Amino acid sequence: MRSRLIGLAGCTKTSCIDFPGTVSTVLFFAGCNLRCPYCHNPHVLESGGELGGASEGVWRFLEKRRSLIDGVVLSGGEPTINPHLEKFATEIASLGYRIKLDTNGLTPEMIERVAPDYLALDVKTDPARYSTHLGASCSDIEAKLRRSVAIARAMGDRAEVRITVAPGIVDRAAVLVLGDMLKGIKTVFLQPMSRRARLLDPAFGNVPAVPDAEIRHYRDLLGGSVGKCIIRGEPVDASVHYASEREAKAA
């Protein structure tokens, strides 16, 4: 008898872009402990119950597709605030799937309990801005983020840090703080804020974007501290990243 996937808000059955080098299924869990104005998943922010009794269908799919799909991405919302996440991850892994976790890093103890095969850690800005700019209400934000960054650092090529370059939230001062905090991380992605979807704060979509040249400057500032810093959407030598993924899989 499989667990009910309490908090499941949605599922992408097959994805080739969410788990580097891996065909995956993506599970979206409801609820989040932040309120980023640029969030393009506002419908999953409020925690809810299992989506329309979808658990059975998801489990049936995962059991049937083991030979075609290699990984499952636990995403959201913010999946680590779901108290059942470790149990879900263990059950999914027992079917032979590799686990990737997408997280904002504010619940490091759950990252440790899930112990994913691959970690995508969103670090948003200078920790001092989380309350004022991102609606964080928890305490010890910097300590929590540093603990999550340490996990990512220890995972080496099996982890990436992502920074969404949102106007007024990420600027040169914040990037300098992040450069110090992210020292030793192997891969950092700078991702320009997407305006294609409806944002949590629709007015935020009208704020002028951070210019490309400025984002390249952030890359240069971070480049000295981390293994590689890549601007999403710019051509890169992807073979470096995916070779490491294959090595990790073979290990």
Instruction: State the nearest-atom distance from the C-beta of 221 to ligand SF4, in Å.
Output: 23
Instruction: State the nearest-atom distance from the C-beta of 163 to ligand SF4, in Å.
Output: 12
Interface residues with ligand SF4 (CB under 6 A) are 32, 34-36, 39, 41, 45, 76-78, 104
Q: Read out DSSP for 155-211?
A: HGGGEEEEEEE-TTTS-HHHHHHHHHHTTT-SEEEEEEPP-SSPPSSGGGGGSPPPP
Closer to ligand SF4 by Cβ: residue 21 or 116: 116
The alpha helices in the chain, defined as continuous H runs, are: 55-64, 85-94, 108-114, 130-134, 141-155, 172-181, 212-223, 238-250
The C-alpha atoms of residue 132 and residue 74 are separated, in whole angstroms, by 28
Closer to ligand SF4 by Cβ: residue 159 or 193: 193
**Exposure string for 156-185, b = 16+ CB within 10 A, e = fewer:** ebbbbbbbbbbeebbbeebbeebbebbeeb
Residue 208's Cβ-count burial label (10 Å; 0-12, 13-18, 19+) is exposed
SS3 (DSSP) at 19? strand
Instruction: State the nearest-atom distance from the C-beta of 135 to ligand SF4, in Å.
Output: 8
Instruction: State the nearest-atom distance from the C-beta of 158 to ligand SF4, in Å.
Output: 21
Closer to ligand SF4 by Cβ: residue 19 or 28: 28
Closer to ligand SF4 by Cβ: residue 103 or 244: 103
Closer to ligand SF4 by Cβ: residue 35 or 147: 35
191 bridge partner residues: 164
Instruction: State the nearest-atom distance from the C-beta of 131 to ligand SF4, in Å.
Output: 14
Closer to ligand SF4 by Cβ: residue 25 or 41: 41
Instruction: State the nearest-atom distance from the C-beta of 124 to ligand SF4, in Å.
Output: 7
Write out the two tokens for 162.
């992502």
Closer to ligand SF4 by Cβ: residue 62 or 152: 152
Q: What is the amino acid identity at position 195?
A: R
- Give which of 177, 193, 1 is closest to 87, Cα–Cα: 1
Instruction: State the nearest-atom distance from the C-beta of 68 to ligand SF4, in Å.
Output: 28
